Amino acid sequence: MRIATWNVNSITARLPRLLAWLESSGTDVLCLQEAKVAEAQFPTAELRELGYEAAVNATGRWNGVAVLSRVGLNDVVRGLPGDPGYEGATEPRAVSATCGPVRVWSVYVPNGREVGHPHYAYKLQWLDALRTAVAGDAAGGRPFAVLGDYNVAPTDEDVYDTAAFEGLTHVTPAERAALADLRETGLTDVVPRPLKYDRPYTYWDYRQLCFPKNRGMRIDLVYGNEAFASAAKDAYVDREERKGKGASDHAPVVVDLDV
């Protein structure tokens, strides 16, 4: 069973590439972030032609997440229980579903903007709510994973240059502590170091030739429980999908399970 996560940075802009990638990659379940459309505009029909059902949590031009599955889609939960909200609004940043023998969450963690900004506090509160929401499944015996764009680089090795991020979000002790607390529920980083690249980044800014120069970050993560991690037989970052015209600024992260 092949499971992946991908921040497509607008499903409308990326639809041709998404459909082609689903066909060529043989992915069974895709957790998708930054759909940037309302649910009514989500390309459900096009995906159905390829055999995929879609569980969508999206409301407009910002955020938006989905789980795409060709192995079943059940027990869908849209939204994060206990979501703290931002400026009085609940943003579409989480959706979960059972796909065959595996339960997954697709999450798009708030960016945080800058240290000290209200959005940074919201980010930490959101991660705490996520920890509480997934604790039961994380400790269970069914294969379970939380996949998505966490907007946090877990270690210094997950950014191209620590000096370039000094004083910025994504690398602060508080954010990394929140990830550690999430792992304490029984989750582990399933793709810590793919063997093909010494520094397996998943995101490269569009500006300043960051991708050709490999000035990236590893912020798209797969956190799985013991049953999920023990079933994982291979994992990789599909850097090829970051290349060429019309690419997202994130690459898909793929895990193969023996379930």
155-180 average pLDDT score: 96
The pLDDT value recorded for residue 196 is 57
Residue 191 has pLDDT above 80, yes or no: yes
Query: Is the CB of residue 116 less than 8 Å from the CB of residue 128?
Result: no
Residue 28 has pLDDT above 80, yes or no: yes
pTM over 0.95, yes/no: yes
Residue 194 has pLDDT above 90, yes or no: no
70-86 average pLDDT score: 98
Report how far residue 259's alpha carbon sits from residue 102's, in angstroms, rounded to the nearest whole number.
Answer: 9
- Name the residue ranges covered by the structural domains of the chain: 2-257
At the topology level, CATH places domain 2-257 in Deoxyribonuclease I; Chain A (3.60.10)
**pLDDT band per the 50, 70, 90 thresholds, residue 198:** low
Query: Is the CB of residue 11 less than 8 Å from the CB of residue 35?
Result: yes
Strand partners, 222: 147
> What percent of the chain is modeled with pLDDT above 70?
97
Q: What is the pLDDT of residues 172-184, one digit of tens each?
A: 999 999 999 999 9
Report how far residue 197's alpha carbon sits from residue 220's, in angstroms, rounded to the nearest whole number.
Answer: 16
The pLDDT value recorded for residue 252 is 98
Average per-residue pLDDT in the chain?
Answer: 96
The pLDDT value recorded for residue 67 is 98
Q: What φ, ψ does residue 60 adopt, rounded to 5°? A: 170, -145
> What percent of the chain is modeled with pLDDT above 90?
95
Q: What is the DSSP string of 88-120?
A: TB----EEEEEETTEEEEEEE-----STTSHHH
104-108, 191-195, 222-226, 234-238: least confidently modelled range: 191-195
Query: Is the CB of residue 107 less than 8 Å from the CB of residue 179?
Result: no
136-140 average pLDDT score: 98
The pLDDT value recorded for residue 182 is 98
Residue 238 has pLDDT above 90, yes or no: yes
Residues in the chain: 259
230-245 average pLDDT score: 95
Residue type, 76: V
Query: Is the CB of residue 63 less than 8 Å from the CB of residue 80?
Result: no
